[in-house]
Structure 1
Amino acid sequence: MISRRTVTTFLGAGLLLSGCAPGDAPGSAGRSVPRTPKAPSIALEAVAGKALPTVSPTPQQIRRTGPDLPVPRLVDILTAEGADPRCADIVGQALRRAGAADVRVSPVGSAPRSPRPLTVVLGNAAAPPMAGMLQRSRAFSAGPLPPEGYQITAGSLGGRTAVLLAGADDDGVFYAAQTFAQLAGDRRIAGATVVDHPAMPLRGVVEGFYGKPWTHQERMDQIAFFGSVKLNTYLYAPKDDPYERDRWRDPYPARQARELAELARHAAAHHVRFTYVLSPGKSIGYNDAGDRKALTGKLRFLYDLGIKDFALAFDDVHPLPVWNSAADLARYGTVSEQAAAAAQSDLTNRVQREFADRHPGVRPLQFVPTQYSDLADSPYKKTLRRTLDSRVKVWWTGADVVPTSITSGQARRAADVWGHDVLLWDNYPTNDYDRAAGRLLLAPYDKRTPELGEHLGGLALNPMNQASASKIAEFTGADYAWNPRAYRPADSWRAAAAYLTGGNQQTTRALLVFLDTQHLAPSWSDAPWQPPAPALKARLDAVERSWRAGRKDRAVAALRAQVDALAQAPGRIRQGVTDPGFVTEAKPWLDALTLWAQALRHTCEALELRSSGRSTQATRSFTAAADVARQASAIRTLPGATRPQGTVKIADGVLDTFIQRAPQLT
């Protein structure tokens, strides 16, 4: 057996060739490695004109420090403390996709006697022998990594290659493996050094919508997806699960209990915190001994299933809860904002002391208040600020139920008003309200200040009834939450599309055409906060300008190209998107897009006929376009699949407007 000391010396010597001078950060020359998540920096460099692969979420620092390293047929993976089997699986699968034929996995302490041409070592940075390797490598920061942080470097030694993946903790090792999978491909590993960590401690998704809850298999798929994009939290809070809200006292039936236990295990394996949100607010007696016992009993039942994170939710009992027991009236008096807050605070504090503090592994509770949006102070908030256990984290939806933007000032004000660690429950891309009827919300996460993490403890996106379609917003939201200062919505949007197509460029282009038709994001009360079909609108506006300027042939040619893109998109999406759930969920919208493309084709034909002086034939084509547009406008969402039901919207305000206006172009 090769000794641990020999392995350390071998790898340390190889990694010294990574190209950083002693004491330099792996970012720009002379720039120190950021010590906290609040001071990220980004360095992207190319050697000999070769750019590094795109990594999502964007790392805090990624730099090319040498040429790409070849992936040989035979590879060793050595695992140290902190590298669970899934980490090794991720790295092994990436190496096989990159061309390795035989990947051997061994603990560092029992490394094979004959090292292979490529060795990948992964483990906790503080655990021997990783700490020794880091000390010998000039490519790494001497300072400690923040929680969930990691470092990657690649170097060469006499024809052999070595890659080191070191995490600040077990989560960091897992995230290093995820990034490595994006650096490996096409028989090469990018010659890069990465120093990375998240800007926000909590990054997740809350299944908190009304309407049909996700299925068990959809949740399993989502949780695996969350881990792959470095989201670390899943909150279980479907409004239409009776055992979460209306029948909160009752334990789950056996089958559903088994599913929850499986979800908890699955989440842990993917480094995702399964958080159960219990919503007793409509019927609980706050000062009723029986209800208090029922509440802790339900949480204990869930704990025994393997769930270790909990939230108590008192949302959607507007404007104030009613007392459900004489004991509440006797204790708190007439219902008021102060009385409601006092009752909720007393109950939450009791649960924190009598349940959370007494069960190993349970983190401090999270709390969803009745007044969960806006920034105004109130007697309710003042009472909670004063009485709620300081360890409890408070969820807030922004300055509105569906905020059009969130500024640094708003986030700072929220932290001040609540006086607790505040988390953002962001109601995007949920489509369970009237203004979202008939829509898939597929625009990228946007209009949130890069400084959000300086004032809030994290964020969770509330998705759509359509689980797979929600991945577009979830992917971009994960990118934002990890590194807000480097976040570019359009770039992240394209990366999300590529994720769903397995990187196929033709299908990715088709999917982006479709996503553009679903770009509009409505608000709760005002104008949309994301515009409808911005790319399509720009092209149709250009067609109209060319026509009015007398360049009619150019206008028709450009319109024909747009027709082809729209017409081809549904078929390519159905054949090429790797997530079958997306195709199933999007079926009404893809069907409608096919018809809208036909309507636009008739419009294009009509304009071409008009430009050649054939007015009668042009009128018939305009009429055909209007007829097909009416058919497209009549397609409805899948019954029972979304709430509320509605007619399907496709680039509304853009595509329909152009088709209606086109007959007036002369």
Structure 2
Amino acid sequence: MNKLFTCVALLMLGVGTSFAQMGQTPGAPVTLPMLFPTPQSIELGKGAMVLGRSTTLIIAPGTETGTVDLVRAALRLAGVKTITTAQKLPSVTDGIYVVIGTVKSAAVNDALKQSGTAIDNHTEGYTITSIAKGNGGIITLAGHDADGLFHAVQTLRQLVQRSVIPALVIQDHPAMPIRGTIEGFYGAPWTMENRSKHLDFLAGVKANTYVYSPKDDPYARDRWREDYPKNTLAELGKLVATAQRNHINFVYAVSPGPTVCFSDPAELKLIERKFEALRSIGVHNFYVALDDIEYTKWNCDKDKAAFGEPGAEAAGVAQAKFLNAVQASLNAHDPKAQPLIMVPTEYYDAKESPYKASLRKHLDPKIVVQWTGTDVVPPAIATTDAQAATKAFGRKTLLWDNYPVNDYAQTTGRLLLAPYTRREAGLAEGLSGILSNPMNQEAASRPAVTGVVAFAWNDKAYDANRTWHFSARELAGGDQRTTAALLTFFDTQHIAPTFGNQPWQEQAPRLKATLDAVREAIAGGDAATRKQAIANLVKCADDLAAASDVIRSGVVDPAFAQEARPWLDALQLWGRALQLTAAGLNAADQSSPAAIRYFATAKKLAAEAAAIQSIKGATRFDGPIKIADGVLDTFVADAPKLIAVE
């Protein structure tokens, strides 16, 4: 994420003025910065400022070294050459001062008083003020707590990407207490490097939770009773340390459901032993997954004796008793532990049932219940759905949103890159949080996950498209050409499937609008309109054909291009096919027989593109790559019939 500052830093190296209003062109308007996630409140003050070459930090006692290091890095990448420290603000402001700390600090409160601002007092909340004063100015980063201060630095990172920083006040805090991802997909799990990068990414978008729950980790599921090998536990320990540095709650999930004997005390002891081993590497947040199992049979005779014949109601009682014992153990052994999280066997709707009624009646109210919405992959989630889930489970639920996960048959050959949408503003009042289930491709999951976390931070001010564009800029390191190429690519992967036949987001809406306009212009019969539409098509085809090379050379993290390799290969071929299709239409419009040759070559390239396969083993289902399917392929096939060639 820090590489994003590079371009901005180079632009600002020549700025030598102090942090003062004279850094702005006289009469130039002061503009409101666009920040993500959208802050709860942001108001412009009077004037604007430019960062100069020197800054003084006033660091409140107890401020984490890592947080201070991030501030230093942000300032250096913004062109600040000299960073000194002081104990307090001077009586006369003679330069640029950046005050960092929590509300407990006298220096922070003094700085806020000078700007006439009170601290945001919500958990994980923060306040940022910037004021021009004397011959310099003051930027204050004030956290309600250490987490809030860390989030403030992420906002500063975005602010200093502008050459001109306006005087402003930001009051901000998350709408939902839990925001992040659950690595809960089937198929190839992420590598430790993937996970470490993902935690760095989550920090940048103000997430606070990562659940380790890969279905293919045998020690978390099939062999859950066994201890982790020492080397694996050590690797997990490094990951936990990365999470802690990034203010991310690392949650470890165990999935004993397929084999557990709920009534056997020995099973609880095994869970306790596993959790104790993980506690030794710094894990204090735990999760028991009971999804994707049957409750029509018991795994042991003891459960039949304890709970009677197998069934939905009996399963609810058995699971509740077992989970309550796990929660009691956490209470007894780990004062740092957060409430246990569980995913129920009926996780996919909010309909009343004997199982949910049993769970609601017997489950410790402290335990957090996760739920995927109105379906396994819901097309939309409304506030009324969350209310129904609260009623069904007897508590606010934690939404497990199965987007952009691509481990089911309908996603074969797809990356899911559409913006996160069709979740109703106001859900923060009915949910305890949202966790996205990402794709097997970590870097490619970031555009969608950025939207999920931004929605969870401020659902009422969330804008899907603007956040989508921000995610592209982040991947592009701020480069405009790469950002445009990524958005072109994202559009060809816009479809969002469900478990049924109807997707919940359409495919390639931007490309379809262009191609539909060409069809309409040709059908209309006006020569000038037709000529312009074909010229627009040429530009569109050129953009498609060029996008892959631009992305490969321009993305900040090469992992994105590596994960998307077959899609980028196919996109390039489809772009060339569309270029030839446009040439064919242009030739046909001029009654040239060359149109036949252009269309034939386009058809051949389209067939080559359609034959490209996904990376074997990278996802649960292998298959042919899909690029704007139903839109681009249909147009290339139909084009020879749009204008008669004599």
Q: TM-score, normalised by structure 1?
A: 0.90
- Please state if 1:565 is matched with 2:540: no
**Deviation at residue 189 of structure 1 after TM alignment:** 3.1
For 2:391 and 2:105, locate their aligned partners in 1 and report how far apart those are by CA, in whole Å.
Answer: 40
Show the counterpart of 2:234: 258
- Please state if 1:340 is matched with 2:331: no
For 1:127 and 1:186, locate their aligned partners in 2 and report how far apart those are by CA, in whole Å.
Answer: 29
* 1:496-515 superposed matches below 5 A: 496-515=471-490
* 1:507-546 superposed matches below 5 A: 507-546=482-521
* 1:61-100 superposed matches below 5 A: 61-81=41-61, 83-100=63-80
Show the counterpart of 1:441: 416
Deviations 1:596-637 (A, max 9, x none): 01111121111111111124x222221211111111000000
**Deviation at residue 103 of structure 1 after TM alignment:** 1.4
| Mean CA deviation greater in 341-350 or 59-68 | 59-68
Q: Which amino acid aligns with 2:196?
A: M
The 1:563–1:293 alpha-carbon spacing in structure 2 relative to 1, beyond 3 Å, is: same
Secondary structure, counterpart of 1:363 in structure 2 = coil
Show the counterpart of 2:145: 169
Unaligned runs of 5+ in 1: 1-16, 19-46
- Please state if 1:103 is matched with 2:83: yes
CA contact (8 A) 1:82 1:170 kept: no
For 2:90 and 2:135, locate their aligned partners in 1 and report how far apart those are by CA, in whole Å.
Answer: 18
**Deviation at residue 115 of structure 1 after TM alignment:** 7.9
CA contact (8 A) 1:148 1:168 kept: yes
CA contact (8 A) 2:298 2:304 kept: yes
- How many pairs align? 616
For 1:48 and 1:655, locate their aligned partners in 2 and report how far apart those are by CA, in whole Å.
Answer: 45
CA contact (8 A) 1:98 1:188 kept: no
Secondary structure, counterpart of 2:239 in structure 1 = helix
For 1:185 and 1:523, locate their aligned partners in 2 and report how far apart those are by CA, in whole Å.
Answer: 38
**Deviation at residue 68 of structure 1 after TM alignment:** 2.1
For 1:377 and 1:198, locate their aligned partners in 2 and report how far apart those are by CA, in whole Å.
Answer: 31
For 2:223 and 2:94, locate their aligned partners in 1 and report how far apart those are by CA, in whole Å.
Answer: 59
CA contact (8 A) 1:288 1:325 kept: no
For 1:493 and 1:208, locate their aligned partners in 2 and report how far apart those are by CA, in whole Å.
Answer: 23
For 1:478 and 1:512, locate their aligned partners in 2 and report how far apart those are by CA, in whole Å.
Answer: 20
**Deviation at residue 53 of structure 1 after TM alignment:** 2.4
Q: Which amino acid aligns with 1:530?
A: Q
CA contact (8 A) 2:255 2:288 kept: yes
* 1:47-446 superposed matches below 5 A: 48-81=28-61, 83-105=63-85, 108=87, 117-140=95-118, 145-185=121-161, 187-318=163-294, 320=295, 322-446=297-421
Show the counterpart of 2:10: none
For 1:611 and 1:115, locate their aligned partners in 2 and report how far apart those are by CA, in whole Å.
Answer: 70
For 2:41 and 2:99, locate their aligned partners in 1 and report how far apart those are by CA, in whole Å.
Answer: 20
Q: Which amino acid aligns with 1:65?
A: G
CA contact (8 A) 2:405 2:440 kept: yes
> 2:609 aligned to 632, 636, 640, which one?
632
**Deviation at residue 131 of structure 1 after TM alignment:** 3.2
Show the counterpart of 1:556: 534
Secondary structure, counterpart of 2:217 in structure 1 = coil
Deviations 1:495-526 (A, max 9, x none): 11001001111111111100100000001114
**Deviation at residue 662 of structure 1 after TM alignment:** 0.9
**Deviation at residue 140 of structure 1 after TM alignment:** 3.0
CA contact (8 A) 1:519 1:533 kept: yes
| Mean CA deviation greater in 118-127 or 164-173 | 118-127
Show the counterpart of 1:470: 445
Q: Which amino acid aligns with 1:267?
A: A
Identity %: 42
**Deviation at residue 136 of structure 1 after TM alignment:** 4.7
**Deviation at residue 187 of structure 1 after TM alignment:** 4.8
> 2:632 aligned to 655, 660, 664, which one?
655
Note the aligned Cα RMSD (angstroms): 1.8
* 1:589-604 superposed matches below 5 A: 589-604=567-582
Show the counterpart of 1:485: 460
**Deviation at residue 129 of structure 1 after TM alignment:** 3.5
For 2:46 and 2:233, locate their aligned partners in 1 and report how far apart those are by CA, in whole Å.
Answer: 51
Deviations 1:566-621 (A, max 9, x none): 01101110111111100000000000011101111121111111111124x22222
Q: Which amino acid aligns with 2:616?
A: P
| Mean CA deviation greater in 544-553 or 421-430 | 544-553
Deviations 1:403-451 (A, max 9, x none): 0000111111111110023100000000000000000000011000111
CA contact (8 A) 1:392 1:421 kept: no
Q: Which amino acid aligns with 1:568?
A: A
Unaligned runs of 5+ in 2: 1-19, 22-26
CA contact (8 A) 2:296 2:312 kept: no
Q: Which amino acid aligns with 2:350?
A: L
CA contact (8 A) 1:513 1:569 kept: yes
Q: TM-score, normalised by structure 2?
A: 0.93
Secondary structure, counterpart of 1:640 in structure 2 = coil
CA contact (8 A) 1:147 1:172 kept: yes
CA contact (8 A) 1:99 1:186 kept: no
For 1:463 and 1:105, locate their aligned partners in 2 and report how far apart those are by CA, in whole Å.
Answer: 42
CA contact (8 A) 1:117 1:160 kept: yes
Show the counterpart of 1:576: 554
Runs of 4+ in 1 over 6 A off after TM superposition: 111-116
For 1:645 and 1:351, locate their aligned partners in 2 and report how far apart those are by CA, in whole Å.
Answer: 39
Secondary structure, counterpart of 1:274 in structure 2 = strand
Show the counterpart of 2:8: none
